[in-house]
Amino acid sequence: EELRRLAGELGVDRDQEVLLERIQDRLGELPRTLLIGPVRSRLRVWNSARRSASRRRAVAVLDSARYVALLDSLDALLESPPLLKAAAGHPEAVLPKAVLRDYARLAARVDSALSQDEGHERDLALHEARKAAKRFRYAAESAVPALGGPARELAKAGKSVQSLLGDHQDSVVAREALRGLAVQATGAGESAFTWGVLYAREEALAERRERELPDIWAKASDPALRAALE
């Protein structure tokens, strides 16, 4: 729970950095004729306001007694890990079950997301599926030293799903930011045209990723991949 909280606190600044890079890249793709108004200066003002707060927050978290206590807890955990009974078993018998359990979680979340109508709820479901894909990928990667090729192939499959869903989620976040930039620009008497163009492009990209997901998932859920691990 403490690690999850820390990741949430520190992730705010990193997420803003990634978001800025994405919007800058998208601006760089536009021809000059579509850059209407002081879009780059507007982007700098917007980013400065958000980054100053997130940087202060990150520094405060890392300077806190709670963070030091977490480090002490991690040291204690490594010194005497509370291993389960299965930890004494043979990796070839234990790890496949653990990896396939994370695969089952991913499959359930992908199926749930694909069953939803387009819109906010589906975006949320796809985001949950992305997190499950990341967990599954890391589980498979950690099993590679013991299980070899089958785990490696499953990790690659998990990575492909994670990458696609990650790009979709980044587009969702970018559209929210672009709408905010458009509102700010309008309030300052600037044109919001360019932000609208970028919004439409991100929306189209997200739709493409959603159309690609069934095929990517079909490859990742190939029964032969799982059977090789069992």
Residue type present at position 198 = L
Give the pLDDT score at 143: 95
**Which pTM value belongs to this model?**
0.88
Residues 6+ apart with CB under 8 A from 195: 39, 178, 179, 181, 182, 185
* Spatial separation of the C-alpha atoms in residues 164 and 167, rounded to whole Å: 5
Give the pLDDT score at 16: 92
Give the pLDDT score at 2: 94
Give the pLDDT score at 86: 86
CB atoms near residue 44 (< 10 Å): 12
Residue type present at position 52 = S
Cα dihedral across residues 122, 123, 127, 133: positive or negative: positive
- How confident is the chain (230 residues) per 10-residue block, as mean pLDDT? 92 91 96 96 93 87 96 96 89 91 96 92 96 96 94 95 97 97 96 98 96 94 86
Give the pLDDT score at 53: 83
Domain boundaries along the sequence of the chain: 1-82, 86-230
Residue type present at position 79 = E
Give the DSSP per-residue string, 135-183: HHHHHHHHHHHHH-HHHHHHHHHHHHHHHHHHHHHHHHHHHHHHHHHHH
| Helix 149-187 vs helix 91-114: crossing angle, to nearest 10 | 40
